[in-house]
Amino acid sequence: MKFSQSLLLLALATFLFATDANAASALQLQTDSKTALERLYAANPKARDLGQHAYAILLFPTVVKFGVVMIGGQRGDGVLWKNGQAAGYYNTTSASYGPQLGGQSFSYALFFMTKDDLKGLNNSAGFNLGASPSLVVADKGVSGSASLYTLQGIKAFIFGQKGLMAGLGLQGTKISEYSPSN
């Protein structure tokens, strides 16, 4: 392996597996999460409707993604909201392999429509987003007439993208519970 590839792998590992020493406090994460959710609701009124029926919402206010040559990754911290209260803190990490270049930040929200939908997140050592058979991803063009708005399953909204990222790669995303600083 070339020195430059080794350096890239080291940078990726540091980025993905960094401890929460630099993570936001619980209060700051809650504030950022509420602000991001209001941005989503303002941009997509159907998301607000869905949020009113959701059993819980996991919101990642800032996820940073990057890719260089054949490797990439993303990471962010979020809050699980249940009945309007913070019910847990989670981080999301992804690694990807394949041609890619660039970087971006974005927010995303997962709407767990029933208690059973939330079980996979609560009953595992880490929730693999790609392995969820009931996940539906919405984009800005969703009009609200599709099955996205059924009251079961996990609904995902990705929003607030900034930056430029291009790539064709395989990606796995893991969501794990953690304890932020107070």
Q: pLDDT of 155-167, one tens digit each? A: 888 888 888 777 6
pLDDT digits (tens, 9 = 90+) for 77-126: 999 999 999 999 999 888 877 887 888 888 989 999 999 888 877 776 66
Distance of alpha carbon 1 from the chain centroid: 32
Q: How far apart are CA 76 and CA 90, in angstroms?
A: 9
Q: Give the global pTM.
A: 0.77
d(C-alpha 157, C-alpha 178), whole Å: 22
Question: Residue 107: which of 68, 156, 46 has the closest Cα?
Answer: 156
Predicted pLDDT of residue 51: 94
| Residue the block writes with tokens 């984009």 | 139
Would you place residue 56 in the very low, low, confident or very high pLDDT band (cuts 50, 70, 90)? very high
Highest mean pLDDT among 64-78, 124-138, 150-164: 64-78
Query: Cα–Cα distances in Å, from 26 out to 77, 79, 88, 121?
Result: 10, 9, 10, 19
Domain positions in the chain are 3-17+24-177
| Other C-beta atoms lying within 10 Å of the C-beta of residue 34 | 16
What percent of the chain stands above pLDDT 70? Answer: 68
